[in-house]
Chains A and B, each alone.
Chain A
Amino acid sequence: MRESFPDWEWPRADRTTGLGVLVALVGTSAVSALAGVTKLEGKPGPAGLYLAVVIGASALGGLWAGLFGSIVALFGYRYFYIVPTHSVEVTASNAAALGAFLATALLASYLLFRARRSLAKLRAYRETLELAMESSAMGTMEWRSGMSQVALSAGAERLFGLAPGAFSGSTDQLLGLVHPDDRSRAAAALGVAAEADGRLAVELRFVRADGVDVWLELRARAIRSLTPDLARVVAVVLDVTETREAALADRQELAELTEHHSLLSAVVDQLPTGVIIAEAPSGRILLSNAQFDQLWGEPLRRAGDFSEYRVFRGYHPDGTPYRPEDWPLARAILAGETTVARLIEIDPPTGVKKTIESSAAPVRDASGRITAGISVIVDVTDRTRRQREQQFLGEASAILSSSLGFDETLTRVAQLAVPSLADWCAVDLLSDDGAITNVAVAHADQGKVDLAHRLQVEYPPDPASANGVPAVIRTGRSELHTEITDEMLVAAAVDGVQLQIVRDLGLRSAITAPLTTHGRTLGAITFVTAESDRRYTEVDLLLLEEIARRAATAVDNARLYSEQGAARAQAEEAWAQVSRLQAVTAALSEAVTSTEVAEAIVREGLVAFRAHAAAVVRLTSSGTQFEVLASTGFSDALSARWSTYSADLAGPSAEAIRTGRVVATGSAEQLGQRWPNSVESQALTGLEANIAAPLLVEGEAIGVLHMSFRGTREFDEPTQEFLVTLARQCAQALERARLYEAEAAARGDAERLTNRMRRLQLIVDATLAGGSFDDLLLGLLKHLRDAVGSDTATILILDEAGGVLRECASIGFDGPLNTRVPLGQGFAGRIAASQLPAVVPDISQIEVVSPYLRASGIVSLAGVPLLVDGRTVGVLHVGTKEPHGFEREDLLLLRLAASRVAAALERAQAHEQEHRIAETLQRSLLPGALPAASGIEAAARYVPATVGVTVGGDWYDAFELEDGSVGIAVGDVVGHGVAAAASMGRLRDVLRAYATDGAGPADTLARLNKMSCREGEDMFATVVYGVVNPARSSLRLASAGHPPPLLRRPDGEVIQLEEGRSLPIGAAADAEYNEVDIALEAGSLLVLYTDGLVERRDESIDAGIERLAALIAEDPAPVAEVADRIIDALAYAHHPDDVVLVAIAIERVKSPRLTLSLPAEPQSLALMRAELRAWLESVRAEEDEIFDILVAVNEACSNSIEHPSGSESGELVVNLEADLVGEDITIVVRDSGRWKPQGPKEDRGRGLEFMEALMEGVEVVRLPDGTTVRMHRRLRGEART
């Protein structure tokens, strides 16, 4: 309202204008007067007139009018006063006076104009003001000449409720209108207003003349004047009643607000959460409730601004403190952020840390301006602890289920518990010997952990203690000590020192829970509080028990796992060794020369032992020096020195050779200590660990297998044994190579010889060529004949009896000679007797025994004895049909040929004998017939080696066990010949003995192995032994390094039974053998074999096994057929090794057996046929099959009935058993008498003929006490499913 008034003041310019007019008038008058005096004396009239004209014109018409008037007046002056009356000389002073006059007139005119315009403006103002005042509740007042009188404008009169004209103008009257309460104030105000330059603004209550109470505001101002009379005080009066009342209303509202605030406080106080409201933007806290105060422990001083938020001590999750402007409330006010449920750790003055959840939001007014912030706070200390506990449980479970060792696992769990759940956490385990071992202690302070460990050592827990960990472990019940009292510490302490230490720890509360799983207590876990001053409750114990339960399971699992892990590692190691051994064997099988053997051993041994250097060193033939056959990883210097140094020097290798044992030094120190000056210890730089095994051939060391390792190494027993095995293989292979080399050397000699006498080469080659002995001799004779140029060539062999020479081989004659020449007689006989070569240029000159010589037209003869070790074994001679002078060279040739023949003869004889013995032995050792157990059908095949001269050590065995199971063993003794066959026999007998004694497969093999190792014989064999239990349809299988048996499932799938495989028999004394249980479904076929069946020189054994598997996978057939098929396909003509094959079929469908027992009389036959027909129909035989079988069986029965014999006593009975296995029908007819085909000749055997024609297999066994006919026929089975 105040602002709505225009500035109420006289314009300053107009005031000066007024002043200027005055000055102009005065000046003009003065100039006029002066002019009149000086020049226009006597004529004042016109001057006055002139002045009047100018002023009037100016006043009336403004400036331009004034100017015009002046000009008119000037001309008028001249015309009327100067020109018509007298001429006035215009002088300088005259002109100046005129100019001054004109200027003055002009100035006056201008000033008048200004004054007139200001007055007009003023008038307009006044009018406007009056209008404004009238239209509004406003008036003006003016005191003049002192304060007693006051002039009121119309508006003012209205305001005061005075009727126009009713006001006397007295100040007192006006004061009388003032509300009595305000009168003194009003008087004082007037006094102030009257002061010099006083300004006043006062609101006063008036009681208007019409009785209405109004609030009027008076704004007064004293206006100065030069004269006190002119001084006045002007005032504006306006009605402020409404404003005033509005303010009053505002005040009431405020009061109400205050009341609301209290109400709000009261409501907010009732909320379960802490609430705090702060003003924006200062942050001054307007309100906080009781819960908020309680949260902080005590009512906090209300903060006046953000800086005072420092009293709230809060921490971020990472521990950094909250700055005042970080708090959600501050963020809400300052940035308008809304925060929802932020977790804050607070540290109230009470010292009990809490976790709160703070939410905050800004409060905005209608314009969106932030006016306040509100924050809600919840105490979530318990909840977060529970969450932490749950989280702990989760994390602990994760740790516990990890595959760590349980010591580390438990330690980590204990560390997890500290410090959130406990200040101390300890885990104790009960060991097998009953001792309690602390496996984990955790505390935030590592120093305290160390202290705990020391305490544990110095004061071990008393297992008999009435409480604490021992008691918990003993009883399996948890313990809760909410408060650990000093008495308890005193009671538990062993001595003062311990008591003091424990007291210093400041233990407060403790809980202990047992680690129990499967009803067994494994240990205990303990939580203790100290620094945190926390007290445990039942709830905490529940948590601990849960942890304990999980930890116990983990410990249990970990123990199981580590046991299994150890077992598995052992098994894997064993298997790895077998694999390595096989790799070595494979490598050796390809090595021919000693160097190749040694290189193979070095190469494979390096891999097998993960060694860094290896060497095969052989003793020279003198036995005094080493010869490095192959080495790798050693420095050249060492190899060089080794190759020359004497074998009697000290060192592991020499020691191994001398003692025949493995010599191992695990570190360089050991080596140096034992052989301080040995070449090896000096030369083996960088190779710390060494192991040497002697290469033994028949107990004699022929060299050393040496392995070296960087860094130290422990050589445990299995490693040493494995090395021995490797060394044994190496030695055998070296020996074999030596023989080969000897022969190769002989061949080399021969070849050198033939360089001189080329023709001999053919002879020598002939003797060395492979093939049969006869072929060899014939080839040799042929070459000899060609070489000598004879017509015939003959070898005679001295009979074993020593008396007669028999022709063994000859060429050039028409047929076999069948000659026998007594020793000492005739040409050959004399040579044999004298052991001297003989040449007969003309046989007519001498006595000849054999007519064939002359008969065939022989003229000249030359012969040499066949000598072995100085003993005559035969005679070689050549003959010509033309006279021939045999030269020295021919004789030499003959002699050389004779030596080859003699050697070959000797070898052949020895081999033949051994082969015969071995094969006989072996065959005699193989079981005659496989056991006929019900539910299985078995077939076995043995094929001795056809190439080479000796039999191997392959064998098989099958026998019935007590529970109806059948034990089946297949083995392969390393080596050939009689020794291998004998070993095989022993192994077979012992295995059968153990097996029938009730030992399972693994046990049997383990015992077999022990026996083999114990006896110290160089017996090395692979064996697979399985027990087939037809009743349980199961196979238990164990293998000692044998190729995997194959199993064809009923669905045709063939699998290799790789499991249950361990080291070969004789490989390591403490080798462990495992067995596997394999389900044998009906219709399965199990095939066991020896490697001869699947090994080819030019391919891997796997390929052979695959081929065998493919054969087995073919259409099912009776096992005998399967066995034949396999042998035909795989054991081809020139197999160098024995082959054993055992096939066992598990009966597919077991139909009810038909058993009939009939009186031995013809009338029984029809009944028998009826029964058998019904049975055959039940197994869905077809009509023609039924007829055939009926006839065949009827014949068998008829024979029994028709021709009874034997016992006369008792009733004669014919028994019939019919079985169906798969598609195979087997019928057995037994009688109690002898079956003697009688009757007419043409009739005789017709029954048998019929049986054989109608059935596929008929077996008649006649024994004194009865005859058994076993018949077999395979049903076609198309109609069957």
Chain B
Amino acid sequence: MSDLAELEVVLVDGVSVARLSGEIDLSNAESIGGAVVPLFDQPGVGVVIDLTRIDYLDSAGVRLLFRVAQASERSGRSLRVVVPAASHIKRILDLADAQHAIQLDETELAAVAAIRDGSV
């Protein structure tokens, strides 16, 4: 993990919530991936990646999310990504058509609830 971004993982209602803050680029996407992907191996119904506090994200970050999504598929556990509406990050994800591959929520609460509901 670089000092560009920080990762905080909490368990909310049995859902692993990875809260990212800072910037994601080529320099740290790999290492963030390395930290987030193993969450699917841990017990729980799914993983939420919260990008609310991410200031910067580019194609490396998008690639990271797709990689995590692949890990989600492989593990059979849900993945939801939290990104506020009308944010810069949302625009980038829209540009990459990320919503086809990744479930997006506007709040962490909604994301966790969606995983919980989905698992039920």
Binding site for B on A (CB under 8 A): 1161-1163, 1165-1166, 1169, 1184, 1187, 1190-1191, 1194-1195, 1198, 1201-1202, 1239, 1242-1243, 1246-1247, 1249-1250, 1253-1254
In the complex, chain B residues whose CB is within 8 Å of the CB of A1166: 4, 23, 25, 27
Nearest Cβ on chain A to B14's Cβ, whole angstroms: 32
| Residue contact A1198 to B62, C-beta cutoff 8 Å | no
Q: How many chain B residues have a CB neighbour from A under 8 Å?
A: 17
| Residue contact A1243 to B56, C-beta cutoff 8 Å | no
Question: With A1247-B59, A1250-B59 given, is the CB distance from A1169 to B23 under 8 Å?
Answer: yes
Question: With A1198-B25, A1198-B60 given, is the CB distance from A1250 to B4 under 8 Å?
Answer: no
**Interface positions of B from 47 to 101, Cβ below 8 Å from A:** 56, 58-60, 62-63, 66, 88, 92, 95-96
Nearest Cβ on chain B to A1072's Cβ, whole angstroms: 62
Q: Which of A1165, A1239, A1243, A1250 contacts B25 (CB 8 A)?
A: A1165
Q: Which of B27, B59, B62, B63 contacts A1162 (CB 8 A)?
A: B27
Q: Which of A1161, A1195, A1201, A1239 contacts B58 (CB 8 A)?
A: A1195
In the complex, chain A residues whose CB is within 8 Å of the CB of B92: 1191, 1250
In the complex, chain A residues whose CB is within 8 Å of the CB of B60: 1198
In the complex, chain B residues whose CB is within 8 Å of the CB of A1163: 27
In the complex, chain B residues whose CB is within 8 Å of the CB of A1198: 25-26, 58-60
Residue of A nearest to B94 (CB): A1253
A–B pairs, 27, beta carbons within 8 Å: A1162-B27, A1165-B26, A1166-B25, A1166-B27, A1184-B88, A1191-B56, A1191-B58, A1191-B92, A1194-B58, A1195-B58, A1198-B25, A1198-B60, A1201-B26, A1202-B26, A1239-B63, A1242-B66, A1243-B59, A1243-B63, A1246-B59, A1246-B63, A1247-B58, A1247-B59, A1249-B95, A1249-B96, A1250-B58, A1250-B59, A1254-B95
Question: With A1187-B88, A1190-B56 given, is the CB distance from A1246 to B96 under 8 Å?
Answer: yes
In the complex, chain B residues whose CB is within 8 Å of the CB of A1243: 59, 63, 66
Q: Which of B28, B56, B95 contacts A1169 (CB 8 A)?
A: B56
In the complex, chain A residues whose CB is within 8 Å of the CB of B66: 1242-1243
Q: How far is the CA of A1169 from the CA of B62 in the complex (A)?
A: 18
Q: How far is the CA of A1239 from the CA of B66 in the complex (A)?
A: 13
Most buried by B among A1187, A1195, A1253, A1254: A1187
Residue of B nearest to A1248 (CB): B59
In the complex, chain B residues whose CB is within 8 Å of the CB of A1250: 58-59, 92, 95-96
In the complex, chain A residues whose CB is within 8 Å of the CB of B95: 1249-1250, 1253-1254
Residue of B nearest to A1243 (CB): B63
Q: How far is the CA of A1250 from the CA of B98 in the complex (A)?
A: 13
In the complex, chain A residues whose CB is within 8 Å of the CB of B27: 1161-1163, 1165-1166
Binding site for A on B (CB under 8 A): 4, 23, 25-28, 56, 58-60, 62-63, 66, 88, 92, 95-96
Nearest Cβ on chain A to B19's Cβ, whole angstroms: 20
Majority DSSP secondary structure for residues of A touching B: helix
Known: A1169-B23, A1250-B96. 14 other contacts (CB 8 A): A1162-B25, A1162-B26, A1165-B25, A1166-B25, A1187-B56, A1194-B25, A1198-B25, A1198-B26, A1198-B58, A1243-B66, A1246-B59, A1246-B62, A1247-B59, A1250-B95
Q: How far is the CA of A635 from the CA of B4 in the complex (A)?
A: 101
In the complex, chain A residues whose CB is within 8 Å of the CB of B58: 1191, 1194-1195, 1198, 1247, 1250
In the complex, chain B residues whose CB is within 8 Å of the CB of A1191: 56, 58, 92
Residue of B nearest to A1246 (CB): B59
Q: How far is the CA of A1194 from the CA of B28 in the complex (A)?
A: 14
In the complex, chain A residues whose CB is within 8 Å of the CB of B28: 1162
In the complex, chain A residues whose CB is within 8 Å of the CB of B96: 1246, 1249-1250
Residue of B nearest to A1201 (CB): B26
Q: How far is the CA of A539 from the CA of B46 in the complex (A)?
A: 118
In the complex, chain A residues whose CB is within 8 Å of the CB of B25: 1162, 1165-1166, 1169, 1194, 1198
In the complex, chain A residues whose CB is within 8 Å of the CB of B26: 1162, 1165, 1198, 1201-1202
In the complex, chain B residues whose CB is within 8 Å of the CB of A1246: 59, 62-63, 96
Nearest Cβ on chain B to A1185's Cβ, whole angstroms: 11
Nearest Cβ on chain A to B29's Cβ, whole angstroms: 9
Residue of B nearest to A1164 (CB): B27
Nearest Cβ on chain B to A1173's Cβ, whole angstroms: 10
Q: How far is the CA of A1201 from the CA of B92 in the complex (A)?
A: 21
Most buried by A among B4, B25, B27, B56: B25
In the complex, chain B residues whose CB is within 8 Å of the CB of A1169: 23, 25, 56
Residue of A nearest to B55 (CB): A1187
Q: How far is the CA of A1169 from the CA of B23 in the complex (A)?
A: 10
Q: How far is the CA of A1165 from the CA of B29 in the complex (A)?
A: 12
Residue of B nearest to A1252 (CB): B95
Residue of A nearest to B23 (CB): A1166
Nearest Cβ on chain B to A1158's Cβ, whole angstroms: 12
In the complex, chain B residues whose CB is within 8 Å of the CB of A1201: 26
Q: How far is the CA of A1162 from the CA of B23 in the complex (A)?
A: 13
Q: How far is the CA of A598 from the CA of B4 in the complex (A)?
A: 85
Nearest Cβ on chain B to A1250's Cβ, whole angstroms: 6
Nearest Cβ on chain B to A1231's Cβ, whole angstroms: 14
In the complex, chain A residues whose CB is within 8 Å of the CB of B4: 1166
Q: How far is the CA of A1250 from the CA of B58 in the complex (A)?
A: 9
Residue of A nearest to B28 (CB): A1162
Q: How far is the CA of A652 from the CA of B55 in the complex (A)?
A: 92
Q: How far is the CA of A1246 from the CA of B62 in the complex (A)?
A: 9
Shortest 5 CB-CB distances between A and B: which pairs? A1162-B27, A1162-B26, A1187-B88, A1246-B59, A1198-B26
In the complex, chain B residues whose CB is within 8 Å of the CB of A1187: 56, 88
Q: How far is the CA of A169 from the CA of B88 in the complex (A)?
A: 169
In the complex, chain B residues whose CB is within 8 Å of the CB of A1253: 95
Most buried by B among A1184, A1198, A1239: A1198
Q: How far is the CA of A1242 from the CA of B26 in the complex (A)?
A: 17
Q: How far is the CA of A1163 from the CA of B30 in the complex (A)?
A: 12
Q: How far is the CA of A317 from the CA of B12 in the complex (A)?
A: 125
Q: How far is the CA of A488 from the CA of B91 in the complex (A)?
A: 109
Nearest Cβ on chain A to B73's Cβ, whole angstroms: 14
Q: How far is the CA of A1239 from the CA of B63 in the complex (A)?
A: 10
In the complex, chain B residues whose CB is within 8 Å of the CB of A1165: 25-27
